[in-house]
Homo-oligomer: A and B are copies of this chain.
Amino acid sequence: MSPPPRRPAATPESPWLAADMRAQQRELKRQAVLHTAAQLFNERGFHATSLDDIAERLHVTKPTLYYYVKSKDEILLECVRAALGMMQEEIGAVRRAGGRALDQLVACMRSYALIVTQEFGRCVVRTGEDPLPEPLKRELRSLKAGIDREFRRLIDEAIQEGSIVACDPKMAAFMVAGALSWVARWYRPDGELSPEEIADQGIALLLNGLVMKRFAGA
């Protein structure tokens, strides 16, 4: 019989956090910086927001901020990356779950509408990539193009399965993305409609259309 395992000797209490805890704390604080910055960009505009404003709302000094982020550009990039990454994950999950293409499309439209009402998602549409230097613009454009491709593919599949009318999937994907992205411009957290209500009503209008009787052309 082997001897019972010895308990490790108790380490003396240290007033410093262990390395992994420090890294975790740092990441949490970095996320708080990004979130607060996004909030300010959405409230006041990217140009009108300074690093001082962000520091002030977080009750820290600007040098403290520099410990977590290098510049306003970096903050914007990270906010936009976060939102687009979220959208890609949602699409991936919907795709893996499978089912009718139309139902998958509706699920993706819903995620899209909900993401653009969140701070990072609002940033993507309200500020966009314009303030960023060219290589970063290219990175963001390629992330957006990937999401657009998924919407086109879903619409194309839905046309094949007979649930969506014969149309140009590219055109239809742009109309859907436009209508839903626009939510980021007009949505107010203190407005009358909740993100879920906006998603439901927006999806119904886009799928069923505005008119009572089919419109045949002007």
Contact = CB atoms under 8 A, between A and B. Distances in A.
A191 to B, nearest CB: 10
Given A164-B212, A206-B210, A209-B208, A107 B218 contact: yes
Copies assembled: 2
Of A165, A198, A215, most B-chain CB atoms within 10 Å: A215
B174 A47 contact: no
A218 B212 CA distance: 21
Contacts of A193: 171
A172 interface: yes
Given A163-B212, A172-B210, A178-B179, 16 more contacts: A48-B133, A106-B218, A126-B130, A127-B130, A174-B179, A174-B182, A175-B202, A176-B179, A178-B180, A178-B181, A178-B182, A178-B183, A179-B179, A204-B215, A206-B210, A208-B215
15 contacts: A103-B218, A155-B210, A165-B210, A167-B210, A168-B201, A171-B193, A171-B201, A172-B210, A174-B183, A175-B179, A175-B205, A200-B217, A204-B215, A206-B210, A208-B215
Interface of A: 45-48, 102-103, 106-107, 110, 126-127, 129-131, 133-134, 137, 155, 162-165, 167-168, 171-172, 174-183, 185-186, 193, 198, 200-215, 217-218
